[in-house]
Structures are given as structure tokens and as C-alpha cells.
Amino acid sequence: MSTYTAPLRDMQFVLNEIAGLEEICALPGNEEVSVELVESILDEASKFATGVLDPINRGGDNVGSKCEAGVVTTAPGFKDAYKLFCETGWNAMPFDPEFGGQGLPAAVTMAVNEMWKSSNMAFALCPMLTGGAIEAIAHHASDELKQKYLPKMVEGTWSGTMNLTEPNAGSDLAAIISKAKPAGDGTFLVSGTKIFITWGENDCAENIIHLVLARLPDAPPGLKGISLFLVPKFLVNDDGSLGKRNDLICPSIEHKLGIHGSPTAVMSFGENEGAVGYLIGEENKGVGYMFTMMNHARVNVGLEGVGIAERAYQHALWYARERVQGKIIGDTSNEKKTILHHPDVRRLLMECKARTEAMRTLAYYAAAQIDKAKAGVPGAQARIDLLTPVVKGWSTEQGVELSSTALQVFGGVGFVEETGAAQYYRDSRITTIYEGTTAIQANDLVGRKLAREKVPGAAMKTLLAEMSADAEAIAANPQLATIAANLKNGVNALSTASDWILANYDAAPAAVHAGSVPFLKLTGIVVGGWLMAMSAQVAAQRIAEGSSDSFYTAKLATANYFAAHQLPFAAAYAAEVMGGADSVFALDEPLF
């Protein structure tokens, strides 16, 4: 079996050359962060991922979490790993120092989080959900709640969850029926059932802080009548110690296709009197507050696509270097060689490597926009708003495709669980579904982020202009001419499709949304291709300056591969967006 090794060189390259780490370190609040410090952090994180998380990943899949009488026991090694994770400060990295956090930039934590997701995605879901809950509380809760709950959550002693989905209400939050009634002392009694609650019950954290969407008795119907409540597993005394168990229980956990090490809980609130909850922010504004958590989670789920693709690629590469099978086409030596020499195995591995690098550049670039937006850099908020659904939707779809591609390298034994390839494929499959399906991300992209933007299409047009200018600059280098030409074609395809959406959205919204997923994939390929082209430009410059570092040669190769094998899909996706709606609606319902 292979062992996960963090791709530190590529991570550092993307942080420095694409995300602009030096510029991020110079932003207000980041004065104590340096390139050298970040290198040290990444090095230590890689040791933790390889030495602690990767070894328990297989057991997490084979054994999984267990639930008996409302008590969840996590997979072997998870509890000890979580304790060490918190003791060594990894949970506190991105959060406000006021509450015990380290205040590190989003771009840095993005790179570190990739290692957690690659080495053990099921484990990484716990700190990811806790982080989202921290963000929601920090932005919207009262000072009293912040002071009472955030220090322990930032430390990791207490974990956090997001409770949206109900048996009758999946993506349609307007259908939520969970209730909250005033208790008369400033608290509320919450009742209802929530499903698909990631790490909703576990034996790793001392307390679990649930953020729950529910309706007050006099709330208006629909989304405008939903409030957000903080509901702890154990009530917290005024001195910060844990009090009695709240009126909530986990009656069961789900038996799933993948991420077996992550307990996905059914949560029942208010079996007796009602679970004591605390209103976050104002009444009936819970959906907006929860989206603070959702947006945090969506970028991080997109990173899961990167992480799982990287791990699946490493596993496939290990096998390709070990397995001797068949005669190599065009080889007259009759030597026994590994399957890495087969042309199509090379293609499969290049697919994984090049596309994963493109996803990584997009994820880290997006994280840099988060840092810039926090510092008030003009245009950064609009850019991250535009790219968030792309990071989530495109990267997770790629993660599923590439974990399947990596499994193909194994041939028949890849379908056998003992080789370990199937786990990455199974684990990847949830990523396109939770935190908003690919279709939801695509609808958000063509709707809120394009057609219904304050100035429709403004953020996309700014991005297109920047990519077009960069393509022209890259074309000046003959070595990069092919990359530049394919990038120009991709930018033109994205521009044409964007204009079509803006022209047709009001008159034919159903037709636009019928092509929204292809448009999301089109955007991902072009933006990913742009960032890969920028990477190639840096690599070519280093080589021209005399560097003999093979890393730059490899970067040119993967950028060329992406330009030749992925950017041509842009034209096809644009054609699908603009001309495919009629065929989507061609069948009457009885004909399906």
C-alpha cells in the first residue's frame, strides 16, 4: 500500500507564485506571517498527515464509526489522533487570536487543510464543520455567546455541527418544520429531527455545539421565518464547566457508500421538554447566518476534491511503478517493464496530475481572495463570491472523475477493496452532493453571481478581461504559444456563453439553468487553464534564468497537458450551454 506524501513543492509554488503569499503576508493583521514561517508550518503539517492521519484512514474505512444506544464510538485511532490534533494547535490555525486562534491567512490554512483531506478525509470533516460553526458564531452571535463557546471550539475541545436537513426538507430549506419556543428566561426550547449531520455525535470532543435552523411560533412561512439557534450537547455553566446533558440524542448514524470514519448522525432534539437553545442574531434571519457557515464549508468541500484526487493519484502512481504487466507498445527490448511505461497508463496518470494541479491553483487562488477581501482589497470580495461555487462544484466533480481514473490504473484489482483504490472513489462521491449539490452551485453561479448580480455580469467580465490580457502576454513567449492559443479559445468560449446567459436569463431562465452545470464546468476549466498558464509562464521564466530544477520542467509539462487535453472542452461546454436546452426538455414526462 502507498503512503501519503504531501506535494510540498507544488503547494509552495502555488502559494508563492499564484496566490501571492508575500502580498498576503503584507496585509494588515498578517505582519507576523512570513514565507519562511509558512514553509515550516507546511513541513510540520505534512509530518502529521503522513505519520498520524494516513495510517488510520484505512481502518476508518474498514471499521467505521459505531452507534449504540445513542453513544457513538469513532474508528480505531481517531480519538487519539483528534486529541493530538488539538494539542498541537492545528485546529486553531485560522481563527481570531481573541479566542485563542493563531490568525493565520486563509491561503495558508487552505494548503494545510488539503493535507488533512488527502490523508484522511473522514477525520478532516470534524474540524471543517467546527470551523464553519465558529465562523457563524463569530460573525453573528452575541458577545456573551462568543466568549462562552468560541475559546473551547477554537481549541478543538468542543466540536461544532451544522443542522439544516430534515427528512422532509433537503435542499429546500423553506420546508423546515423544526420548532423553537421561548422558555421565558431568554433561552428557547428546540424540537425536531435533523438528518445527515456530519460528526453530529462523537467520542472525540468533550462537548458538541450544534447550530440548528428552526421556526419560532409566530414566524412567517418560508425562508423568511427561519431562525438559527446554538444548541449544546451539554449545557455550559457560567464558569465554563459542563453542566447537565441537553435534551438531544443521536438515535442512529447512517450506513454510507464512503467516508465510513465520519459519523453521519440523525439528531433528535426535544424528546422531552425541549433542547435548550440560544438565539444567534435576530429572529427569522437564520438562513442568512447559516450561509456564513455554508460558504466556509463550500470552499473547503471543493478542497476535498483536490485532496482526494491527489491521494488517489499517488496511490495509482505507486501501483504503476510496482506492477509489471504486458508488452509495451513500440518497445523492442523485450524487457519486463512496469505498467507506467504503457501509453494509456501515462495518459491516465497525466490526467490525474495535471487536473489536480489545476484544481490546487484555483483553490489556493480563491483562498488568497478571501484574505484580500478580509483586508478590504477592492474587487476581492466580488472575485471570491464568483469563484466559490466553481471551487466547490468543479473541483468536486473533478475529484470523482479523477479518483475513478486513478482506480482504472489498477485494472481489475482496483475493484477489489484490498488494494485500497476503491476507498478514494467511494469517499469522493459525497463531495458533489453535500453543502449544496453541483446543480445548486451552478444555479448560484448563473443566477446570483452572473445574471442577478448588482451590475449583471460585472465580476465575470472583470475576470474575463484579466484572463484575456494574461493570455496575450503569455503568447509573447514562443515556448508557451500553444498554451496561450488554447487559453484564448477557452476565454472566448466562456465570454460567449456568459453573454448568452445574460441575454436570455430574464426571458428563458429554465433554458439557462438547463445548461448551468456545463457552464460551471466551462468556468472551472477556463479559470483552471488560466492559472496553469500563469504557472507555466513562471516555470519558463525560471528555466530561462538558468534553473535546472526538474520541477519547472514538470510544471511546463502538466500545463501543456491541461491546455491540450482540457481547454478544448471549453468550446463543447459553451455549445451545450447555448444550444442544449431544447433537447433537455424534449421528452414529455410520461416518456421518461
HEC-encoded secondary structure of 395-450:
HHHHHHHHHHHHHHHHHHHHHCHHHCHHHHHHHHHHHHCCCCCHHHHHHHHHHHHH
75, 94 contact by CB (below 8 A): no
309, 352 contact by CB (below 8 A): yes
Write down the pLDDT at residue 159.
98
Residue 567: partners with Cβ closer than 8 Å, 6 or more residues away? 486, 487, 489, 490, 525, 526, 529
Residue 232: partners with Cβ closer than 8 Å, 6 or more residues away? 149, 158, 207, 208, 209, 210, 246, 276
Going by the DSSP 8-state scheme, the letter that residue 447 receives in this structure is I
With a pLDDT cut of 90, the percent of the chain lying above it is: 96
Give the three-class secondary structure for 267. strand
Q: Report residue 480 as a C-alpha cell.
A: 508557451
Angle between helices 481-504 and 458-475 (to 10 degrees): 160
98, 288 contact by CB (below 8 A): no
Q: Report residue 14 as a C-alpha cell.
A: 502555488
61, 242 contact by CB (below 8 A): no
Q: What digits encode the pLDDT tens for the residues 77-92?
A: 999 999 999 999 999 9
Q: What digits encode the pLDDT tens for the residues 83-129?
A: 999 999 999 999 999 999 999 999 999 999 999 999 999 999 999 99
Rounded Cα distance, 588 and 40, in Å = 60
What DSSP element (H or E) covers 161? Answer: strand 158-163
19, 367 contact by CB (below 8 A): yes
Strands (E), 397-481: none
Residue 26: partners with Cβ closer than 8 Å, 6 or more residues away? none
Write down the pLDDT at residue 330.
85
Q: What digits encode the pLDDT tens for the residues 252-278?
A: 999 999 999 999 999 999 999 999 999
Write down the pLDDT at residue 503.
98
Give the three-class secondary structure for 468. helix
Give the three-class secondary structure for 504. helix
Write down the pLDDT at residue 217.
96
Nearest by Cα to 325 from 311, 309, 345 = 345
Q: How confident is the model at residue 335 (pLDDT cuts 50, 70, 90)?
A: confident
Going by the DSSP 8-state scheme, the letter that residue 219 receives in this structure is P
User: Stretch 170-184: mean pLDDT, rounded?
Assistant: 94
141, 29 contact by CB (below 8 A): no
Write down the pLDDT at residue 170.
86
Rounded Cα distance, 370 and 228, in Å = 25
With a pLDDT cut of 70, the percent of the chain lying above it is: 100
Give the three-class secondary structure for 388. helix
Write down the pLDDT at residue 331.
85
Residue 408: partners with Cβ closer than 8 Å, 6 or more residues away? 348, 414
Q: What digits encode the pLDDT tens for the residues 22-61?
A: 999 999 999 999 999 999 999 999 999 999 999 999 999 9
User: Stretch 425-433: mean pLDDT, rounded?
Assistant: 98
What single-letter amino acid sits at 576?
Answer: E
Q: How confident is the model at residue 350 (pLDDT cuts 50, 70, 90)?
A: very high
Write down the pLDDT at residue 96.
95
Going by the DSSP 8-state scheme, the letter that residue 50 receives in this structure is I
Residue 320: partners with Cβ closer than 8 Å, 6 or more residues away? 338, 339, 340, 345, 349, 409
Mean pLDDT estimate for the chain: 97
Give strand pairing partners of 324.
338
Going by the DSSP 8-state scheme, the letter that residue 477 receives in this structure is S
Per-residue pLDDT at 137 exceeds 90: yes
Give strand pairing partners of 73.
66
Site of grid cell 423568511: 224
Q: What digits encode the pLDDT tens for the residues 482-531?
A: 999 999 999 999 999 999 999 999 999 999 999 999 999 999 999 999 99
Helix and strand numbers, DSSP H then E, in the chain: 20, 12
435 is catalytic: yes
* Residue ranges per structural domain of the chain: 453-586
Selected catalytic residue, list 435, 453, 545, 576: 435
